[in-house]
Amino acid sequence: MIDHLPPLRAVIRDHDLRAKKSFGQNFLLDLNLTARIARAAGDLTGADVLEVGPGPGGLTRGLLAEGARHVLAVEKDARCLPALAEIADAYPGRLAVIEGDALAVDPLAHLTPPIKIIANLPYNVGTELLIRWMTPAQWPPFWDSLTLMFQREVAERIVAKPGSKAYGRLALMVGWRADARIVLHLPPGAFTPPPKVSSAVVHITRLDAPRYPADAKVLERVVAVAFNQRRKMLRAALKGLHPDIETLLRASGIAPTARAEEIGLAQFCALARAVKDA
Ligand code: SAM
């Protein structure tokens, strides 16, 4: 038992929180599991946590029981607010809830560094937020780490290495300025109701500065164009980027006949610098 609040099944029954598809709701009801996810985010004492999509509060309770200094939870489904208020009462001064769409709310004013972001979100919202959190106007971003649930296939794309089928934009975008690893695999049965696919929790720790110098916008464009036609040789896939792309590829240490999935981060950054200078 991680706290003295009622079991999540009772919370869901008493507050009539039947999962709605329109909110992408697949709840975690095992508090030992949610405490494990909280621990996967590292030491929470002394950190503020931004939790997106707390739902009935299973992960929220895990975060608080694991010692988070303060949790700010953003939830779109107003039906969940009374259940979350009960958790806030049990942990005085440590949980604040904002009702709203995480894609529209700016939580920064309510958070004090160091900040960790931890969430079990609908998969589509999670990927969109990951891309936003990884591409802020300035680096370092406002957060220190992201611990997020994804569809297993997306989790594998985030941590993929060159040469693998899963390797592409997500791995490069994350790997350029952060370390990412899968910390937990979850079968569909871990959720209520069970989703169709398996899930995995990815833990991402930001670096203070990018691994290799490059202009973020140029790098994003080069990588996007390269993987848009991942089976083509780079000299063909990238020909719209510059009239003499072959020379730029060679200058970056890349064979013009190579394909995007064979190219590592250091070479993509070199190519982004060459494209910018040209
Ligand atoms: N964290 C809870 C858990 O682990 O049991 C709930 C997980 S459920 C997969 C996703 C939660 O995100 C739901 O509570 C849903 O209402 C909420 N949600 C969906 N879209 C959202 C959005 N755009 N902004 C904030 N919350 C959202």
Report the separation in Å between the CA atom of 245 and the middle of ligand 1, taken as the mean of its atom positions: 45
Q: How far apart are CA 230 and CA 58, in angstroms?
A: 40
Nearest CA to ligand 1 atom 1: 54
C-alpha 122 – ligand 1 centre gap (Å): 6
Ligand 1 centre from 271 Cα, in Å? 39
What integer pLDDT is reported at residue 234 of this predicted model? 98
Q: Which two tokens stand for residue 185?
A: 């695999």
Topology of domain 216-277 in CATH is Helicase, Ruva Protein; domain 3 (1.10.8)
SS (HEC) of 84-140 = HHHHHHHCCCCEEEEECCCCCCCCHHHCCCCEEEEECCCHHHHHHHHHHHHCCCCCC
User: Where do the CATH 3.40.50.150 domains begin and end in the chain?
Assistant: 8-206
pLDDT of residue 262: 96
CATH 1.10.8.100 residue ranges in the chain? 216-277
- Average pLDDT for 48-72: 98
Domain 8-206 has CATH 3.40.50.150: yes
Per-residue confidence band for 53, with pLDDT thresholds at 50, 70 and 90? very high
Q: How many helices (H) and strands (E) does the chain have?
A: 11, 9
Instruction: Please tell me the total number of residues recorded for the chain in this structure.
Output: 278
Residue 224 phi/psi, 5-degree rounding, is -60, -45
Q: Look up residue 22 and give its DSSP letter.
A: G
pLDDT tens, residue by residue, 168-210? 999 999 999 999 999 999 999 999 999 999 999 999 999 999 9
* CA–CA gap between residue 259 and residue 234 (Å, rounded): 5
What one-letter code names the amino acid at 123? Answer: Y
At 187 the pLDDT is 98
Pocket test for ligand 1, best of 8, 25, 129 (most atoms within 8 A of CB): 25
pLDDT (average), residues 123-150? 95
* Confidence (pTM): 0.96
Percent of the chain at pLDDT above 90?
98
Atom of ligand 1 nearest to the CA of 80: 14
Q: In ligand 1, which atom is closest to the CA atom of 51?
A: 1
Can you tell me the mean pLDDT for 76-97? 98
Distance 34 CA to ligand 1 centre (A): 14
pLDDT of residue 29: 97
